[in-house]
Amino acid sequence: MEYHGGNIYEHNKAIIDFSSNINPLGVPQCFKGALLKGIADFSVYPDREYKKLRQNIARYIGNISIENIIPGNGAVDIIYRALEAIEYKSLYISTPTFSEYKRAGEKVKMAVKEINLYEQEYEKIDLGGLIENIKEQSVVLLCNPNNPTGTLIEKTEFLELLKNLQKTKSFLIIDEAFIEFAPKFKDASMVEFISQYDNLLIIRAATKFFGMPGIRLGYGITSNIGLINSIERNMEPWSVNTAAEIAASCIFDDHEYIKATLDWIGSERRYLYQKLSELNGLKVYSSSSNFLFLKLLDEKMDAYGLQEKLLEYNILIRLPKGFSGVSRYNFRIAIKDRKNNDILISSLKEVIETDNI
Amino acid sequence: MEYHGGNIYEHNKAIIDFSSNINPLGVPQCFKGALLKGIADFSVYPDREYKKLRQNIARYIGNISIENIIPGNGAVDIIYRALEAIEYKSLYISTPTFSEYKRAGEKVKMAVKEINLYEQEYEKIDLGGLIENIKEQSVVLLCNPNNPTGTLIEKTEFLELLKNLQKTKSFLIIDEAFIEFAPKFKDASMVEFISQYDNLLIIRAATKFFGMPGIRLGYGITSNIGLINSIERNMEPWSVNTAAEIAASCIFDDHEYIKATLDWIGSERRYLYQKLSELNGLKVYSSSSNFLFLKLLDEKMDAYGLQEKLLEYNILIRLPKGFSGVSRYNFRIAIKDRKNNDILISSLKEVIETDNI
């Protein structure tokens, strides 16, 4: 099986894991208390309708009815079940992107079409090229901001795409797993348009922003009740576990955690981007997420060589493996707290500027 | 969506839920401490290979290599992924049984063949009738002990079936979700035969015996590494959550809980069976599990009418809905602790013997 990040479980020593995009603030404080209080809840089956869970999510999203929300065992569960439910033949994805999209499409036997819509700098995406090519009854699946490039797609681009997809009876799925890390994320999200477009499904995850990938909680948002019903029919019962239900009962109201996370990402993204940009032989792409996409400019060392050298500094980076359309000189790093970011900066500086002469 | 048990979340008042088959001893004591100690584990992704988890399961099962174990998001996750992975055309199930088997088979577009192999009393199953009918490349999926009848299948029956399935290149899946409740369960389990038959997959759940359906932890056991690899290819990444990993790190060594559960099921199953058998107008089938299957003999009231009346006593029973081949006079109840069992006995006595004259 191919893994997304570097697998920290393969390494015996203590590793600073820059390969996984996790909020370094860790698990929200409220979760511990809520778990203790809710320990007996593990002794009963979760509500198959997940009513309270959907209420908590709806309150967090705002201006949305619980009927428009479907929770799953992580965002990947929603991705797989949605593609199964839609039952269209073609899936369009924009490379490079999260490898599970292709895997999910192939699993349900869709024809997966990978299109590179980026200009060289990964700063902008041109959906126009996509619009021209879409066949009837297709699904377009885009990650916003995109993993691994960090690119944010403009709303106007999405709206243009949506209108065109309506004409071809096609569907747009936007994976907003990282949207809360984007500057002014409430403006960046497409969630306000779900009532306007019933060919739109937005996927979110509680695991990224709230620093708890271990709970496995993702959810889909759409005004298309037919789609929600089909996804439900394709889902296994009790797909969301009790720890995820408990987390959702407190994290969305943890305003202290939310503020601290927004403060952290705002300042550390800027800091790390600037410091890494100053290094010779390294291209840093601008990012609207909690990770940075980079490229080694000096072809004497590729990302695989770099990973090996950085492991001597106990640092694990994300290799380009599994991402279509990137070179072996590309890699991705998570943005961490100042202390760890500084360790990365100085280690990279030593490896690139000193070792690599 | 159709639900298995009665849905306690539909009712506003405090309900004694006899519709879900859960260990009344609740969550093992060790889980609380382990959760607190492991809270930071929620902030990282689970190990995609689930090495420690599989080690814990292997130690619990005994005489087994971790390569033979595949964990999933509850037993249902393994059922769905296994049928997807095997890719055969026919699925044979013995009715009445757990409704997810049929649902899973239909989802992967198998021809689902429901056969009633029971004699009138549900005490014995005759696999001979099944053997005669099996086509090449089929899957037989049997629940042992069976839900909802509580019937235990003899090993000699299974071995005869396995030999015949080898000839037709067919597969046997045994769902042992309730096996630990069976008398002398280590003898009753077919797990010792996995190395001998590579057309055998056994499915277990940590949720039933250990009273924690909320953690979602099931696992498959097979010596067929090709099958394990195919199931893995069909699985979503990180399907098992951190709470399940934490639970598995302690519950299997909680010998006090295991002993208490075995003591409880041994005495309460006998007690409840005897007391309910004494009631007029009620047939109680013998059971090797933590639930009893029953039938109202007086046709003036069916299980739906009974459910309504028992709700006045705050008692929820499992309706026959969703089980093929049973009558509307059948119902199922979970075995609970003495206090609640006594409440059930006296309430049933009142409803059946008094109200129903």
Look at residue B149 in the predicted model and tell me its pLDDT.
96
Q: Is the pLDDT of residue A155 over 50?
A: yes
Look at residue B4 in the predicted model and tell me its pLDDT.
47
Domain stop point among B221, B253, B285: B253
Domain stop point among B253, B277, B301: B253
10 Å CB burial of residue B102 (0-12, 13-18, 19+) is buried
Q: Is residue A199 part of a domain?
A: yes
Closest A-chain CA to B78: A236
Instruction: Flag if A44 and B32 touch (Cβ within 8 Å).
Output: no
Q: Is residue B46 part of a domain?
A: yes
Residue type, A216: R
Q: For A44, which of B214, B233, B245 is closest by C-beta distance?
A: B214
Residues of B with CB below 8 A from A242's CB? 214-216, 243
Q: Is the pLDDT of residue B215 over 60?
A: yes
Measure Cα distances from A148 to A96, A98, A178, B15 in Å: 7, 7, 11, 49
Q: Is the pLDDT of residue B56 over 50?
A: yes
ipTM surpassing 0.90:
yes
Tell which residue, B313, B348, B311, B307, has the closest CA to residue B328: B307
Domain of A85, CATH number, reads: 3.40.640.10
The angle, 0 to 180 degrees and rounded to 10, between the axes of the packed helices B75-86 and B100-107 is 40
Q: Are residues B88 and B113 in the same domain?
A: yes
Q: Are residues A77 and A115 in the same domain?
A: yes
Closest A-chain CA to B42: A214
- Interior angle at CA B12, CA B9 and CA B16, nearest 5: 70
Size of interface A-B (CB pairs under 8 A): 164
Instruction: Flag if A238 and B76 touch (Cβ within 8 Å).
Output: yes
Q: For B232, which of A1, A5, A245 is closest by C-beta distance?
A: A1
Q: Are residues A181 and A267 in the same domain?
A: no
- Domain tally for chain A? 2
Percent of chain B whose predicted confidence (pLDDT) is above 70? 96
Q: For A32, which of B1, B39, B49 is closest by C-beta distance?
A: B39
Query: SS3 of B70, please?
Result: strand
Q: Is residue A2 part of a domain?
A: no
Q: Is residue B1 part of a domain?
A: no
Q: Is residue B307 part of a domain?
A: yes
The separation between CA B121 and the C-alpha centre of its own chain, rounded to angstroms, equals 20
Domain extent at residue B321: 8-26+256-355
Instruction: Flag if A49 and B17 touch (Cβ within 8 Å).
Output: no
In this prediction, residue B10 has a pLDDT band, given cuts at 50, 70 and 90, of low
Q: Are residues B242 and B349 in the same domain?
A: no
Q: Are residues B196 and B331 in the same domain?
A: no
Per-residue model confidence as pLDDT tens digits over B71-121? 999 999 999 999 999 999 999 999 999 999 999 999 999 999 999 988 878
Closest A-chain CA to B105: A234
State the DSSP H helix or E strand holding residue A275, giving kind and residue range, or none if neither: helix A255-277
> Residue A169 in contact with residue A137, Cβ under 8 Å?
yes
Cα–Cα dist A67/B179, whole Å: 38
Per-residue model confidence as pLDDT tens digits over B289-347? 999 999 999 989 999 999 999 999 999 999 999 898 899 999 999 999 999 999 999 99
Residues of B with CB below 8 A from A31's CB? 39, 42
State the DSSP H helix or E strand holding residue B202, giving kind and residue range, or none if neither: strand B200-205
Q: Are residues B158 and B302 in the same domain?
A: no
Q: Are residues B240 and B338 in the same domain?
A: no
Instruction: Flag if B26 and A43 touch (Cβ within 8 Å).
Output: yes
Neighbours of A194 (CB within 10 A): 19
| Block residue for tokens 């506003």 | B12
Residues of B with CB below 8 A from A233's CB? 1
Q: Are residues A73 and A177 in the same domain?
A: yes
Q: Are residues B60 and B152 in the same domain?
A: yes
Instruction: Flag if B44 and A20 touch (Cβ within 8 Å).
Output: yes
Q: Is residue B239 part of a domain?
A: yes
What single DSSP character describes residue A182? S
Work out the minimum CA distance from A116 to partner chain B, whole angstroms: 25
Residues of A with CB below 8 A from B100's CB? 236-237
Tell which residue, B63, B234, B85, has the closest CA to residue B171: B85
Measure Cα distances from B196 to A114, A207, A227, B86, B201 in Å: 45, 42, 45, 19, 12
Neighbours of B216 (CB within 10 A): 34
Give this prediction's pTM: 0.93
Least confident of A6-10, A17-21, A168-172: A6-10
Q: Are residues A225 and A351 in the same domain?
A: no
Q: Is residue A1 part of a domain?
A: no
Name A353's Cβ contacts closer than 8 Å, sequence gap at least 6.
Answer: A279, A280, A281
Cα–Cα dist B103/B346, whole Å: 37
What single DSSP character describes residue B118? B
Neighbours of A84 (CB within 10 A): 18
Tell which residue, A77, A19, A123, A68, has the closest CA to residue A335: A19
Tell which residue, B120, B127, B213, has the closest CA to residue B163: B127
What single DSSP character describes residue B259? H
Query: Which one of A44, A54, A207, A233 makes the best mutation probe of the B interface by having the most chain B beta carbons within 10 Å?
Result: A44
User: Per 3-state DSSP, what percentage of chain B is helix, strand, and coil (rounded to 5)?
Assistant: 45, 15, 40
Tell which residue, B104, B164, B105, B172, has the closest CA to residue B133: B164
Q: Are residues B103 and B39 in the same domain?
A: yes
Per-residue model confidence as pLDDT tens digits over B242-290? 999 999 999 999 999 999 999 999 999 999 999 999 999 999 999 999 9
Q: Is residue B146 part of a domain?
A: yes
Domain stop point among B197, B218, B253: B253
Instruction: Flag if B214 and A239 touch (Cβ within 8 Å).
Output: no
Q: Are residues B239 and B324 in the same domain?
A: no
Domain of A341, CATH number, reads: 3.90.1150.10
